[in-house]
Structure 1
Amino acid sequence: MDSPLTPYLAVADARAAVAWYAAHLGAELVGDPIEMPDGRVGHAEMRIRGARVFLSDAHPELAVLAPDPAGVPVTLHLELDDVDGLVGRLRDAGASVDREPGDTPAGRIAVVRDPFGHRWMLNQPS
């Protein structure tokens, strides 16, 4: 069963975001995105390491906005096996690194911001 809570991300370019998440986070698209009459993506579903994530283009007329470059109020937490390796690959793919990998009581952690403005906390548990 899927978790009852699913993040729903808005971005400026949903097609580019789906491609980036697939190439760099291993996301898999579930079905075809729903395209609105104006060509924007109204809904897409992905799976990232088994977790369901929804995505759409920004729809300002519905108060659905892409992240503000000044910052975002939500961080997505992703557990994985190799934080250092992924941070390097994400940096090379256009992500900015807000927090370099480091050891914490919760494991090895880094924080990156993807090219679409979303903040990811990458955690390699101890």
Structure 2
Amino acid sequence: MNDHADPTGPTAEAETHALTPYLVVADARRAIEFYVETFGAVRHGEPIVMDDGRVGHAEVAIGDSVLMMAEEFPEIDHVAVTSGGPAVRVEVADVDDAVAKATALGAEVFGDIGDDGYGRSGRIRDPFGQRWLVQQASRRSSAGRS
């Protein structure tokens, strides 16, 4: 069982919100496994696989939110980011543990993990090019509730 599952794992209330990240990744199956192992994500249904084998849509739940993703479809300008691009903020129960798991699975760490005015945080780029701001869950957040 994933160490993050209890404090940060999705509940029955996991849902899409007014803003829901929709990532483009080169390998959605590997990305799903990475997010499960690193952030305690839980698969939301089965991926939709196109006739050519590419994942056209997949969802995982992290905390009370849904993260959507698909593989690249360059024919409709749906391509994965290779550098730069927006970062997604994710709350976890233990920043150090999540970053350690992420790096063991191929993520890069940018800067130091540390404490600031917002709490403990670190920055990573996952093996699929996505940048993440990994922050300790506050007691007021859905991930920090007991």
- The TM-score normalised by the length of structure 1 is 0.91
**Equivalent AA in structure 2 for residue 17 of structure 1:** A
Alpha-carbon deviations, 1:15-69, whole Å to 9, x = none? 111112112211111111111111100001110122111110010001111111x
Shift of 1:106: 0.9
* Residue of structure 2 aligned with 1:35, choices 39, 49, 57: 49
1:1-126 matches, within 5 Å, as 2-68=16-82, 71-124=83-136
Structure 1 stretches (4+) deviating beyond 4 angstroms? none
Shift of 1:120: 0.5
- Return closer, same or farther for 1:19/1:73 CA change in 2, 3 Å cut-off: same
Tell me if the contact between 1:106 and 1:125 (Cα under 8 Å) persists in the aligned partners: no
Q: d(CA) in 2 for partners of 1:124 and 1:19?
A: 21
Counting aligned pairs with the same residue, the percent is 41
Tell me how large the CA RMSD over aligned residues is.
Answer: 1.4
Q: d(CA) in 2 for partners of 1:24 and 1:108?
A: 17
Unmatched 5+ stretches in structure 1: none
Residue 31 of structure 1 aligns to a residue whose secondary structure is coil
Equivalent pairs counted in the alignment come to 124
Tell me if the contact between 1:31 and 1:45 (Cα under 8 Å) persists in the aligned partners: yes
Q: d(CA) in 2 for partners of 1:24 and 1:86?
A: 5
